[in-house]
Amino acid sequence: MSTPRRINEKNIARLVKKGLTRTFPGVKFYVSSKIYGNGSANIHIGWVDGPTEPQVTQICKPFVGQDNKLGWLWHDTVTYDEKPDEGAERVTVETCHISPFRHYSREFCTAVVAHVTAKTGWDTPEIQDITWYTRNIKRGSAVTIVDDTTTSRDPNRQEQIVHFFKVLREARVDEIEPVEKVSETPKSDVLPYEIEFERKATLFRFHGKPDRDTVEALGNLGARNIVRKRAFVVYYVMELDEIEKLMGSAPVKVTYPEPEPLPDEPEYTSDGKVKMCRIKILGGETPSDFLGTFETWEEVRDVMWALRQYRLSVDPKFGWYHKTDFEVVYTDGEVYAGRVDVGDSSDDWDIGAHMANHLTFYTGERQPDWMTEQQYREIVERDPDTRREVQEWLDTYQIVQYTGGQHG
């Protein structure tokens, strides 16, 4: 008897897209698959208007959380009952999660808002472009309703906004009377703007509100509007001529990051590895008392252990964790940036152990208990270049850990 063919996350993404396209003709679906560092698979589905999320979820149901269950592949879907046809293929379906995310065009959202206000007489909320991550949808093609409960004087406004969103999520395109296509706002002169370069990011700060075209252009670069920074942030360092070409004018001010103070020459451990220069605990969900820059692994160990004990004292319940961002700066200028999740049931408070565990996962040295050897080998062997680069990094840089010996 032949071994059933294994349907992995990429196969599932293709089958899901075929099923959705066949069931909802005329709707363009953006389907992508991703394997996370812990080996879990996720299928992201994005589309504009079209069917509701429950309708899409129903089509995806045969592929969700099957945990390598045996089934029959027939006509781009899988059944787990008896064989549907002699031509059906015996398969096992890999465990994965599916995340459907419906987006809304300005025309459809405007029609839904008009439909609700006509029935209720409520004030019409503002509709604005989405500028954050939009599940593969072209930025500028999706909008959302603005939650104006903080500025409205109506004490029932919160319930009204919730109702607007509820109708929007549940509405089908054929139920809502369409409105005329909303004309694009003509592009105005470029606003004066400033540029600030960070180590791995470019910040755009405008002297006023940028127009829709500018927001869309930044969105196409992956920019996010970060309120606490008061800037649109592109997560890589851009060239100035690239910025000027994009914006159509030069920035009125450019700020560069202060260079990291480093020794004149790299320093090495006794076994020839590059020494750590400093470790920064940056924040995330970490109280400010535990933030700072530390010059030894022992200092960081004591601070992170104190953070965990503090969390245990204020979060006595089970199953919690809190994110803590960090950077390890080495004496040759190399920087390792990561995040530990300080929780009630893990040793992830140890930054060195976290680094070693994360990196040795990709070198093939640390197979998680919950993952089969076949699954682990497929992930490790999928990208030999990454495996080689990670091993070179481990062989070059010092890592000290306290919850599993010393690595480096």
pLDDT computed for residue 185 by the predictor: 45
User: Based on the number of CB atoms within 10 Å of its own CB, is 117 exposed (0-12), middle (13-18) or buried (19 or more)?
Assistant: middle
What span, in angstroms and rounded, lies between the C-alpha atoms of 231 and 224? 8
pLDDT computed for residue 184 by the predictor: 46
CA distances from 333 to 115, 264, 276, 294, 388 (A): 58, 11, 10, 16, 21
pLDDT computed for residue 267 by the predictor: 93
> Which position has the token pair 């004591």?
302
pLDDT computed for residue 130 by the predictor: 66
pTM (2 decimals)? 0.45
pLDDT computed for residue 294 by the predictor: 93
Q: Which two tokens stand for residue 221?
A: 């670069």
Q: Which two tokens stand for residue 81?
A: 């009952």
Q: Where are the alpha helices (DSSP H) in 248-347?
A: 297-314
pLDDT computed for residue 391 by the predictor: 92
> Is residue 88 within 8 Å of residue 3, measured between CB atoms?
no
What span, in angstroms and rounded, lies between the C-alpha atoms of 86 and 106? 48
What span, in angstroms and rounded, lies between the C-alpha atoms of 391 and 139? 37
Of 222, 335, 218, residue with least CA distance to 274: 335
Of 207, 201, 198, residue with least CA distance to 249: 207
Of 93, 115, 134, 78, residue with least CA distance to 9: 93
> Which position has the token pair 């390792």?
336
What span, in angstroms and rounded, lies between the C-alpha atoms of 249 and 242? 11
Domain residue limits, the chain: 5-102, 106-175, 195-255, 276-396
Count of Cβ atoms closer than 10 Å to residue 133 Cβ? 12
What span, in angstroms and rounded, lies between the C-alpha atoms of 201 and 232? 10
DSSP 8-state assignment for residue 77: E
Of 125, 120, 122, 103, residue with least CA distance to 169: 103
Q: Which residues contact 324 (CB under 8 A, 6 or more apart)?
A: 281, 283, 284, 285, 286, 290, 304, 307, 339, 340, 341, 342
Report the residue count for the chain: 408
Q: Which two tokens stand for residue 24?
A: 């909802």
Count of Cβ atoms closer than 10 Å to residue 186 Cβ? 8
The tally of CA atoms less than 13 A away on the side-chain side of residue 334 is 14
pLDDT computed for residue 380 by the predictor: 85
What span, in angstroms and rounded, lies between the C-alpha atoms of 93 and 68? 5
Of 64, 124, 60, 71, residue with least CA distance to 95: 64
Count of Cβ atoms closer than 10 Å to residue 374 Cβ? 9
pLDDT computed for residue 16 by the predictor: 85
Q: Which two tokens stand for residue 336?
A: 């390792």
For every one of its 408 residues, what pLDDT tens digit does the chain have, with 9 covering 90 and above? 577 777 777 888 888 888 888 888 888 888 888 776 666 778 888 888 889 999 988 888 877 766 667 778 777 677 777 787 777 788 777 777 888 888 888 888 888 888 888 888 888 888 877 655 454 555 556 777 877 666 666 678 788 888 888 888 888 877 776 655 544 444 445 689 999 998 778 999 998 888 888 888 888 888 888 876 788 988 888 999 999 988 888 999 999 887 767 888 899 999 999 999 999 988 767 787 888 899 999 999 999 888 888 877 766 565 567 788 889 999 988 889 888 888 766 667 889 988 998 899 989 888 888 888 888 888 888 888 888 889 999 999 999 988 643 333
